[in-house]
């Protein structure tokens, strides 16, 4: 039996495979991308379940609409209008089974085999995986300190059948980088007259602990703008509630068809529950608690990197989110470093799976949201020791 | 902007569009396919949520494994071993976001554009929709009173690149028909040496109110057997928990990759909740309550059809499940009948969307699970009146 080309091409998640190895309690893991459990308002969600059942009864257990629970879609529209002045209605929102499903559906809706996707490099692994199932051609564009490299983007835009650009403009996964105001404007100027959509995938946007909230690249300015959002990083990932925001009616109608085919509709019980939670609690101060924690964890890791790492290792300084990105400039590959690190029970994600076009890279992702200050310092010290041993070996 | 061929080919759900029209409280609707709310054990599910939270805490709100909650997979394996003696382990079970997702993933895993799917005709609309997203060639095989037509199946099996056969062997949607023991054996004998998978989609199997439980066509006999199951018809569809059963490791590993790409994992909160419900309640007597209700509703509709309908309309007699299938032999198309019926506020689903290869058919689906006996009789009487008026008009 011959399986489909698309599934044979699609990598199973490198990270999920790493996590199976690193899941032991002895291992100090900077490999995951999990929210700290402090971000789950457990008691309030339990109360929300009770209210959702007592106010709605059997309805929340029945089949439901493909687009999602209307009051929750209206809540999301109102919130994005308030924060970003986008002029949205509930019809501009489609609820999905996590943002991952949105990535899968968008590529299904746009991509014929071989069509182009312009993609940050390094870029989000889950997006590479979701898109690969539609057999696209990837046009990678280097992600720099300030955002997508403009010259490379220009070159990519003239490629045939490029259907959309995929970006994570705030606290990107895997690099932690944030597009500057100027770069956002440059990108928009470049694409505004092109027949191409731009996805701004923004799961971490609310988790800013430094700098000012920045406007989206294209949202609110063109109907070829798609924003992806999620409750996974601020309420619960386990309930799989994400959403697509787009004012283009034709696109949204195709997305509804694709979603019907994919799973009929998302879990309606969880949509009611999250809506009840959001409308009966102080969400802003809940998010503030997560931000304060992540800021303190990021600061501890950055201080440890400065204190313990050799100077030839550079790293990003995130303004929010969950990740730091390090570059080895000592000739070692990230995979070699990973194997040495696992020998001293420290895990991270080598950069390789985040590149559509490169292997054996010298970059790696460090997550700081799931360890105490003591554990973060201990883990970074162990990694530093490996790096100094390599230097000594090379000097000798 | 050109959207993908696959989404342009895929019909948006005819039924979901009909339901928008028929959703008025004045309309007597036999159009839906919704479980009766009596099948949702609301209080027990609320207790299950409380237990799931108090026993597991934050874990049930976190990201989780792609294959699904292990104790629930083990529960399903044990249950199918008990009832069907299949020798399953938890590794043979993959939890999905409803059975609909299973249909979507299976076609993604098998189908390159143009590959064949052998499909019951009439067949389940949601499957046609899910499969179409992978751009297959459909090879329809007539579904007769006893099961798939053997001669047509033989012809379909020699078609190039036919990857799987799709069946609903028990109380099929849309026809209500059940494959006989003999036909199951004939089908198995025909395919047992072929390089082709067979899906037995069995969401209604537990809802048998007449006749004996029958063994699956192929499950337990070959590793090219796939069973699909669901908690949607006996616990709650709103939580979207379905499952794939297959002993073929290579297939299951591709399914896991496809599922990661599609939505990372299904709602874990609901998986824990359903597990808690199943292990702390008398599920068998709950299902018995649903069976008794559906049997009484089916009997009322069958009696009304016999009493009121002209003899040239034939209909199936389901042994379980949710549907009766009627065939007009009076020259009227089902669509014409539908429009006349809507004028007297009665709805059903005309047969057309259940055929991959035919239009303007004379068959229709009647659902009986969501109406009282009085309403069922009133609705069938109104339909009968239309049929007799046609006869009179033709006689004149």
ipTM of the complex: 0.96
Own/partner long-range contacts of B289-293 (Cβ < 8 Å, ≥24 apart): B289/B38, B290/B35, B290/B36, B290/B38, B290/B39, B290/B207, B290/B233, B290/B234, B291/B206, B291/B207, B291/B208, B291/B209, B291/B320, B292/B209, B293/B36, B293/B38, B293/B369
Helix, strand, coil content of chain A in percent (nearest 5): 45, 15, 35
* Residues of A (354-383) whose Cβ lies below 8 Å from B: none
- Give the list of residues 6+ apart from residue B82 with CB closer than 8 angstroms, or none: none
- Helix (H) / strand (E) element for A83: namely helix A70-84
* Residues of A (274-303) whose Cβ lies below 8 Å from B: none
With beta carbons less than 8 A apart as the criterion, state whether B344 and B389 touch: no
pLDDT at B25: 82
Does the beta-carbon distance from B258 to A62 stay under 8 Å? no
Name the percent of chain A lying above pLDDT 90. 91
pLDDT at B24: 77
pLDDT at A229: 98
The reply to whether A108 touches chain B by the CB within 8 Å rule is: yes
pLDDT at A356: 84
Q: Nearest chain A residue to B1 by CA: give it.
A: A195
Q: Which CATH architecture has domain B42-279?
A: 3-Layer(aba) Sandwich (3.40)
- Helix (H) / strand (E) element for A106: namely helix A98-110
- Give the list of residues 6+ apart from residue A336 with CB closer than 8 angstroms, or none: none
Q: What is the pLDDT of residues A305-327, one digit of tens each?
A: 999 999 999 999 999 999 999 99
Domain ranges of chain A: 5-40+285-395, 42-280
> What's the average model confidence in pLDDT over B391-395?
70
The reply to whether B262 touches chain A by the CB within 8 Å rule is: yes
- Helix (H) / strand (E) element for A186: namely helix A181-191
Structure token digits, residue A42: 């457990």
Does the beta-carbon distance from A50 to B46 stay under 8 Å? yes
The reply to whether A261 touches chain B by the CB within 8 Å rule is: yes
With beta carbons less than 8 A apart as the criterion, state whether A235 and A201 touch: no
At the top level of CATH, which class does the domain A5-40+285-395 belong to?
alpha beta
Give the least confident one: A19-33, A80-94, A175-189, B263-277.
A19-33
Structure token digits, residue B44: 């027990």
* Residues of B (200-229) whose Cβ lies below 8 Å from A: 224
pLDDT at residue A18 is higher than 90: no
Q: What is the pLDDT of residues B67-92, one digit of tens each?
A: 999 999 999 999 999 999 999 999 99
CA-nearest of B231, B181, B176 to B206 is B231
- Give the list of residues 6+ apart from residue B92 with CB closer than 8 angstroms, or none: B77, B245, B246, B247, B252
Q: Which CATH architecture has domain A42-280?
A: 3-Layer(aba) Sandwich (3.40)
Coil, strand, or helix at residue A65? coil
pLDDT at A396: 59
The minimum CA-CA distance between A119 and chain B, rounded to whole Å, is 17
Which one of A14, A257, A274, A275 would you mutate to disrupt binding with B, by most B Cβ within 10 Å of its Cβ? A257
> What's the average model confidence in pLDDT over B235-263?
97
Kindly indicate whether the domain formed by B5-40+284-395 is annotated with CATH number 2.130.10.30: no
The reply to whether B258 touches chain A by the CB within 8 Å rule is: yes
Write the burial class of residue B389 (CB in 10 Å: 0-12 exposed, 13-18 middle, 19+ buried). exposed
B115 neighbourhood in chain A, CB within 8 Å: 4
Which one of A43, A49, A240, A290 would you mutate to disrupt binding with B, by most B Cβ within 10 Å of its Cβ? A240
> What's the average model confidence in pLDDT over B344-368?
94
pLDDT at A393: 72
* B16 φ/ψ sector (left φ>0, alpha ψ -120 to 50, else beta): alpha
pLDDT at residue A390 is higher than 80: no
Q: State how far the Cα of B44 lies from the Cα of A85, in Å rounded to an integer.
A: 44
Which one of B50, B231, B240, B265 would you mutate to disrupt binding with A, by most A Cβ within 10 Å of its Cβ? B240
Q: What is the pLDDT of residues B196-210, one digit of tens each?
A: 999 999 999 999 999
Nearest to A40 among B5, B58, B64 (CB): B58
Nearest to A62 among B7, B34, B112 (CB): B34
Does the beta-carbon distance from A263 to B66 stay under 8 Å? no
CA end-to-end distance (rounded Å), chain B: 55
Q: What is the pLDDT of residues A334-378, one digit of tens each?
A: 999 999 999 999 999 999 999 988 899 999 999 999 999 999 999
pLDDT at B378: 98
The minimum CA-CA distance between B363 and chain A, rounded to whole Å, is 24
Does the beta-carbon distance from B62 to A42 stay under 8 Å? no
With beta carbons less than 8 A apart as the criterion, state whether B65 and B205 touch: no
A134 — pLDDT class (breaks 50, 70, 90): very high
Q: What is the pLDDT of residues A271-307, one digit of tens each?
A: 999 999 999 999 999 999 999 999 999 999 999 999 9
DSSP strands (E only) in chain A = 28-29, 93-97, 116-121, 137-144, 147-148, 162-167, 197-201, 225-230, 241-245, 313-315, 323-328, 346-347, 349-350, 363-367
CA-nearest of B123, B197, B148 to B357 is B123
Q: State how far the Cα of A317 lies from the Cα of A366, in Å rounded to an integer.
A: 12
pLDDT at B357: 82
Q: State how far the Cα of A116 lies from the Cα of B343, in Å rounded to an integer.
A: 49
The minimum CA-CA distance between B225 and chain A, rounded to whole Å, is 13
pLDDT at residue A93 is higher than 90: yes
Q: Nearest chain A residue to B242 by CA: give it.
A: A263
The minimum CA-CA distance between B164 and chain A, rounded to whole Å, is 10
Does the beta-carbon distance from B253 to A4 stay under 8 Å? no
The reply to whether B108 touches chain A by the CB within 8 Å rule is: yes
Structure token digits, residue A328: 């080895």
Burial A248-265 (b: 16+ CB within 10 A, else e): beebbebbbbbbbbbbbb
Does the beta-carbon distance from A240 to B258 stay under 8 Å? no
Helix axes A268-280, A42-56, angle to 10 degrees: 110
* Residues of A (32-51) whose Cβ lies below 8 Å from B: 34-35, 37, 40, 42, 45-46, 49-50
Q: Nearest chain A residue to B250 by CA: give it.
A: A3
Backbone angles phi, psi at A215, to 5 degrees: -65, 155
A12 — pLDDT class (breaks 50, 70, 90): confident
Nearest to B239 among A57, A224, A267 (CB): A267
Does the beta-carbon distance from B1 to A109 stay under 8 Å? no
pLDDT at B395: 65
- Give the list of residues 6+ apart from residue A37 with CB closer than 8 angstroms, or none: B58, B61, B62
B64 neighbourhood in chain A, CB within 8 Å: 238
Q: State how far the Cα of A108 lies from the Cα of B7, in Å rounded to an integer.
A: 7
pLDDT at residue B11 is higher than 90: no
B271 neighbourhood in chain A, CB within 8 Å: none
- Give the list of residues 6+ apart from residue B293 with CB closer than 8 angstroms, or none: B36, B38, B369
- Give the list of residues 6+ apart from residue B156 with CB closer than 8 angstroms, or none: B116, B118, B139, B141, B162
Neighbours of A308 (CB within 10 A): 17
The reply to whether B31 touches chain A by the CB within 8 Å rule is: no
pLDDT at A395: 65
Q: State how far the Cα of A336 lies from the Cα of B113, in Å rounded to an integer.
A: 40
Does the beta-carbon distance from A40 to B62 stay under 8 Å? yes
pLDDT at B372: 96
Q: What is the mean pLDDT of chain A?
A: 95
* Residues of B (7-26) whose Cβ lies below 8 Å from A: 7-8, 10-13, 16
Q: Nearest chain A residue to B196 by CA: give it.
A: A1
> What's the average model confidence in pLDDT over A7-16?
78
Q: Nearest chain B residue to A267 by CA: give it.
A: B239
pLDDT at A392: 73
With beta carbons less than 8 A apart as the criterion, state whether A167 and A179 touch: yes
Nearest to A264 among B100, B163, B236 (CB): B100
Chain A / chain B CB contacts < 8 angstroms: 220
With beta carbons less than 8 A apart as the criterion, state whether A366 and A324 touch: yes
B6 neighbourhood in chain A, CB within 8 Å: 108, 112
B22 — pLDDT class (breaks 50, 70, 90): low
* Residues of A (123-182) whose Cβ lies below 8 Å from B: 126, 129-130, 132-134, 163
Does the beta-carbon distance from A238 to B60 stay under 8 Å? yes
The reply to whether A195 touches chain B by the CB within 8 Å rule is: yes
Q: State how far the Cα of A161 lies from the Cα of A92, in Å rounded to an integer.
A: 26
Strands A137-144 and A147-148: antiparallel
């Amino acid at each position: 039996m011959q399986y489909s080309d698309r599934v044979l091409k699609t990598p199973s998640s490198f990270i999920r495979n790493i996590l199976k190895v690193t899941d032991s309690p002895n291992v100090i893991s900077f490999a995951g991308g999990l929210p700290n459990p402090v971000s789950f308002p457990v008691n309030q969600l339990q109360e929300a379940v009770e209210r959702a059942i007592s106010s709605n009864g059997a309805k929340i257990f029945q089949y439901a609409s493909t687009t999602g629970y209307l009051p929750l879609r209206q809540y999301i529209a109102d919130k994005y209008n308030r924060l970003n002045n986008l002029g949205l209605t509930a019809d501009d929102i489609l609820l999905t089974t996590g943002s991952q499903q949105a990535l899968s559906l968008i590529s299904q809706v746009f991509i014929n085999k071989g069509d182009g996707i312009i993609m940050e490099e390094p870029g989000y692994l889950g997006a590479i995986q979701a898109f690969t199932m539609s057999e696209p051609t990837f046009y990678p564009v280097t992600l720099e300190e300030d955002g997508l490299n403009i010259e490379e983007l220009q070159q990519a835009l003239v490629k045939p059948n490029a259907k959309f650009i995929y970006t994570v403009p705030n606290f990107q996964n895997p690099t932690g980088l944030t597009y500057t105001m100027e770069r956002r404007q440059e990108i928009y100027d470049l694409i505004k007259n092109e027949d191409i959509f731009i996805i701004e995938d923004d799961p971490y946007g609310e988790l800013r602990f430094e700098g000012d909230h920045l406007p989206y690249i294209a949202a609110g300015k063109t109907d070829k703008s798609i924003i992806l959002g999620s409750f996974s990083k601020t309420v619960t990932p386990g309930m799989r509630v994400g959403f697509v925001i787009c004012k283009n009616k034709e696109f949204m109608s195709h997305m509804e068809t694709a979603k019907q085919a994919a799973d009929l509709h998302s879990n309606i019980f969880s949509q009611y529950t999250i809506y009840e939670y959001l409308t009966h609690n102080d969400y802003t101060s809940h998010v503030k608690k997560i931000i304060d924690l992540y800021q303190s964890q990021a600061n501890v890791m950055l201080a440890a990197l400065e204190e313990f790492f050799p100077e030839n290792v550079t790293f990003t300084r995130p303004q929010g989110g969950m990740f730091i990105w390090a570059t080895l400039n000592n000739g070692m590959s990230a995979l070699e470093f990973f194997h040495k690190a696992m020998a001293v029970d420290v895990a991270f994600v080598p950069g390789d799976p985040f590149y559509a076009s490169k292997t054996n890279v010298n970059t790696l992702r460090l997550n700081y949201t799931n360890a105490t200050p003591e554990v973060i310092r201990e883990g970074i010290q162990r990694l530093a020791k490996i790096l100094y041993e390599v230097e000594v070996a090379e000097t000798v």
